[in-house]
Amino acid sequence: MYGQTPLWWAVENGHEAVVGMLLERDDVNPNTADRKGRTPLSRAACKGHEGVVRILLERKDVNPSTADNIFNRTPLWWAVKKGHEAVVRILLERDDVNPNTADMFGHTPLFWAAMDGSEGILRILLRRGDVNPDTVDRYGETPLLQAVENGYEGIVKLLLERDDVNPDRADKDGLAPLSRAACKGHEGIVKVFLGWSDVSPGTADGYGKTPLSRAIQHEHEEVVRILLERKDVNPATADAVCGRTPLSWALRKRYEAVVRILLERDDVNPNNPSEFGQSPLLWAAMHEHEGIVRILLERGDVNPDTADKFGPLINEAPLFRAAQNGHEGVVRVLLERDDVNPDRADTFGRTPLSQAAMNGHEDTTRTERGQSRHN
């Protein structure tokens, strides 16, 4: 069944004595594979049967690098995949074992160790002078990128210590390892990369987003703080593709904590318009981010009555948009300001009060009327 011989089954179950007896016969082929191309040595390595592996390797006619015919996985690959350190050591003692043979997906034994978090096995593999720790699989991933993706800080450190590992090699989408770490919120790994002189924390990825923008987009506050400690990180750099600044990303994520962190910086312009021509305050007002509106208004250089200057939305101020959408809480916050004109009309002569009434926002209308009488 499935091409498995008595030797194959003895190997599968780790019966060293039976394996020895069968190999004494001239009519037993130690390399006979099953239908999937798995040799007895491959199965012994996969199962972690150290004694059986040694017995098989004593035979001069056993090829220790024979891969299966489906996934192209060698005995070493299987030993690494299953975490059998002793078998990995035995196989790597052989000069005729290629440590860089990849499977059909481009995953070498070292690649898999990095992806699986097998730090001990990775150390063993790195001792081989002919191992390549910077291979690229069919999906554009490297061992370093996979270690970052899965948060294996120890493996990241081991790989970065190698001169033949590029710490900035990006994936197929242009995300460098640091950007990937920022996306995933791996604080320790971000710190590791920032300690490397040849890693630029301000470099944008293939989508034009910096690690800072990525951290904000994925709501990793501590990573944001770590990145902003660097002098070479510009907190106002807009994405090259969509034109969004870190502050703009924080607004869209309703990320009050990060909005406050960014606005504490003198080099962040709180009035910088978005890609749609709206100021941060206008954006927050029209989307009912009351907490963010309050944070923005704490900055002395924020004009609470600045109007939109883009496209058909002409001369619409934050109060106008908040009233139009029935955002009563935001309306109240804006009307507390002496520098907000409650009767300011847009280009078409529409006032905040008229828009609130037209859209049926009675509570907002009452708030507006009360303020108008007060004035």
> How high is the mean pLDDT in each 10-residue block of the chain (375 residues)?
80 93 93 89 96 96 93 97 98 96 97 97 97 97 98 98 94 93 98 92 89 96 97 90 89 94 94 80 91 95 79 69 84 88 77 62 53 50
Q: Which fold has domain 271-375?
A: 1.25.40
pLDDT for the residue numbered 348: 76
3-state secondary structure of 309: strand
Cα–Cα distance for residue pair 320/270, rounded to 1 Å? 19
**Rg of the chain in Å (alpha carbons):** 31
Cα–Cα distance for residue pair 71/237, rounded to 1 Å? 45
pLDDT for the residue numbered 240: 82
pLDDT for the residue numbered 30: 92
Token pair 């409650």: residue = 342
3-state secondary structure of 313: strand
For residues 162 and 128, the answer to whether their CB atoms sit within 8 Å is no
3-state secondary structure of 310: strand
DSSP 29: -
- DSSP H helical segments within 233-342, as ranges? 246-252, 256-263, 280-286, 290-297, 318-324, 328-335
Cα–Cα distance for residue pair 281/297, rounded to 1 Å? 8
CB count in 10 Å sphere of residue 56: 25
For residues 170 and 176, the answer to whether their CB atoms sit within 8 Å is yes
Q: Are strands 313-314 and 309-310 parallel, antiparallel or unpaired?
A: antiparallel
Cα–Cα distance for residue pair 165/179, rounded to 1 Å? 17
CATH superfamily of 167-268: Ankyrin repeat-containing domain (1.25.40.20)
pTM, full prediction: 0.87
For residues 359 and 375, the answer to whether their CB atoms sit within 8 Å is no
Cα–Cα distance for residue pair 210/291, rounded to 1 Å? 26
> Fold identical between 1-98 and 167-268?
yes
Token pair 């037993």: residue = 28
Question: DSSP per residue over 191-234, as a string?
Answer: HHHHT-TT--TT---TTS--HHHHHHHTT-HHHHHHHHT-TT--
Cα–Cα distance for residue pair 219/159, rounded to 1 Å? 27
Residue 34 has φ and ψ, to the nearest 5°, of: -80, -170
DSSP 66: P
Beta bridge partners of 310: 313
Say if domain 1-98 classifies as CATH 1.25.40.20.
yes
Task: Delimit the domains of the chain by residue range.
Answer: 1-98, 167-268, 271-375
Cα–Cα distance for residue pair 160/155, rounded to 1 Å? 9
Cα–Cα distance for residue pair 178/232, rounded to 1 Å? 14
Q: Which residues contact 278 (CB under 8 A, 6 or more apart)?
A: 286, 308, 310, 313
Cα–Cα distance for residue pair 211/225, rounded to 1 Å? 12
Q: Which residues contact 363 (CB under 8 A, 6 or more apart)?
A: 326, 328
Cα–Cα distance for residue pair 57/39, rounded to 1 Å? 12
Cα–Cα distance for residue pair 16/24, rounded to 1 Å? 13
